[in-house]
Chains A and B, each alone.
Chain A
Amino acid sequence: MRYPAHSARRLGSQVLQLMHDTGHAMFMLLEAASFCRYVFSKRSWNETSMQMYITGIKSLAVITVVALFTGMILALQTGLELRRYGQEVYIGSAVSVSMIREMGPFMTGLIIAASVGSAIAAQIGTMTVSEEIAALEVMSINPNRFLVMPRLVALVVMMPILTVYTNILGIMGGAVVGATQLGVSVQAYMDNATQFATNKDLYVGLFKAFVFGIVITTVACHQGFMTREGAVGVGKATRRSVIISFLVILVLGYMITRLFYV
């Protein structure tokens, strides 16, 4: 008899906790966003450009491999299907449209969440447990301005750029598979690819990348600030930041596609 009431209460308190945390994260995001006007002040800019560099360079190798193979898999998968109808030439558009609209921002988002997002959560988490955040607060240095804002700007700028890079490589990967496995010449592939992909696809994809950049920074920084219990806590925060980012990216990616295409 006691058990259901107990779990209901626990569920209730977990929902409340979730709402509380989300509110907290939103407040942090809004405050950091309001500080974006200082981004070009000398010191903020140093930090921001360093974060941009880290974001852009750190994951470039992984992104390159993942993008190429994503395009290759897409081409092979759809190509084999299309060949049954003798329509292989359409892999160009199949790959380019799904890369630009869906897979480009999605793959980039996952990689950045796993590499840069986790690093942000670990760094801010470590700072939280070693009292560095407390020290900033005592010095009246707002961590949302000092730490969150530069990372937010860096990710929001770099995510679309990296997504374009992912798109280009993915489409190239598709062309390689088309030429070597499916007998579609690069010329024909490219013609087809450019013919069907619209500007709208590009804008929607970049909009997703922009949103994912916000999501990754917000989740990672928030998890960092919520860290408790020393090194173990930092591990937990890092893992949670990656998982939560993945989930939010999936759901929001779907919702944005629905919003613009249904």
Chain B
Amino acid sequence: MIRFENITKVLGGKTVLDNISFEVSAGETFVIVGLSGAGKSVTLKHMIRLMLPDSGNVVVDGEPINHIGRTALQTVRTKFGVLFQSAALLQWMTVKDNVALPLREHTKMDEEEIGRLVAEKLRLLNLSDAGDKFPADLSGGMQKRVGLARAIIMSPQIVLYDEPTSGLDPVTSRRIDDLIVNMRRELGITSVVVTHDLHSALSIGSRIMMLHEGKIVENATPEEFIRSKDETVKSFLESQYITKKGKWETGLSHE
């Protein structure tokens, strides 16, 4: 569904992505992990051409998107819903208006229908009380969830999540994880999730890719991932108390 073919991207003199190739298949929940600054957000931005590679091709649904025209690009982008790392809500609009924005811009729905859809998504994300607030009055985690509501309001085929659970409490984090899993199971939505949280990566991912210093150091199913021979992956796993003994027991559970 999304294929990176030998992508190289240099930013500020640093090779952030170094000849990277991988493929996200339809219906998959593809998780990207890596240390801060590893190029995870940059990778996501290439999928929707917010960044252009220095060399290589990004292919979406069989179509290389690097050189397509504006209308074609819009068509490609309608397949995507994107949750940005910073949530990227419009500050002068209420939560409801932010979530409703894509509907108002791209559909002919009447206000009643829009209100109903928005309320439904807000309820799903436990935000029913926040509808009339402004983004600046919300916590970071709540802003993230509003961003997520906006990302899925148009029922996209592919959703890109840039750290959907960072800054959220564990309970809400699991709720978001469930949401991602449900969207895959019930709607067949393809997800690409960037996260630092290996526990959620292992529980929601159908495939986990780790980026390190511009290279892919691992790209495997969760079961294979925790058994990886790669030193970077091992130390990443150990840092979050994940060992390959149990299904992925945490160090804390031995107490």
Interface positions of A (Cβ within 8 A of B): 43, 126-127, 130-132, 134-135, 137-141
Contacts and interface: CB of A to CB of B under 8 A. Distances in A.
Contacts of B104: 43
Interface size class of B (residues with CB under 8 A): 20 to 34
Interface string B64-78: 000000000010011
19 contacts: A43-B104, A126-B91, A130-B88, A131-B84, A131-B85, A131-B86, A132-B88, A132-B91, A135-B84, A135-B88, A137-B77, A138-B50, A138-B80, A139-B77, A140-B74, A140-B77, A140-B78, A141-B101, A141-B105
A132 B50 contact: no
Contacts of B84: 131, 134-135
Contacts of A43: 104
B48 interface: yes
Contact of B48 (A127, A130, A132, A138): A138
Contacts of A139: 77, 101-102, 105-106
A132 B89 contact: yes
Contacts of B82: 135, 138
B86 A138 contact: no
Contacts, number: 40
Contacts of B38: none
B90 interface: yes
Interface string B44-56: 0100101000000
Nearest to A130: B86
Given A43-B104, A137-B50, A138-B48, A132 B80 contact: no
Contacts of B74: 140
Contacts of A126: 91
Nearest to A42: B104
B90 A132 contact: yes
Contacts of B89: 132
A96 B95 CA distance: 50
A56 to B, nearest CB: 18
Contacts of B90: 127, 132
Nearest to A50: B92
6 A-B pairs with the lowest CB-CB distances in the bound complex, closest first: A135-B88, A131-B88, A140-B74, A131-B84, A132-B88, A138-B82
A108 B86 CA distance: 38
Contacts of B102: 139, 141
A140 B50 contact: no
A141 B82 CA distance: 14
A43 B100 CA distance: 12
Contact of B106 (A127, A131, A137, A140): A140
A234 to B, nearest CB: 13
A241 to B, nearest CB: 19
Contacts of A137: 50, 77
Nearest to B75: A140
A134 B50 contact: yes
A135 B91 CA distance: 13
Interface in B149-163: none
A130 B105 CA distance: 21
Interface string B197-237: 00000000000000000000000000000000000000000
Interface in B16-71: 45, 48, 50
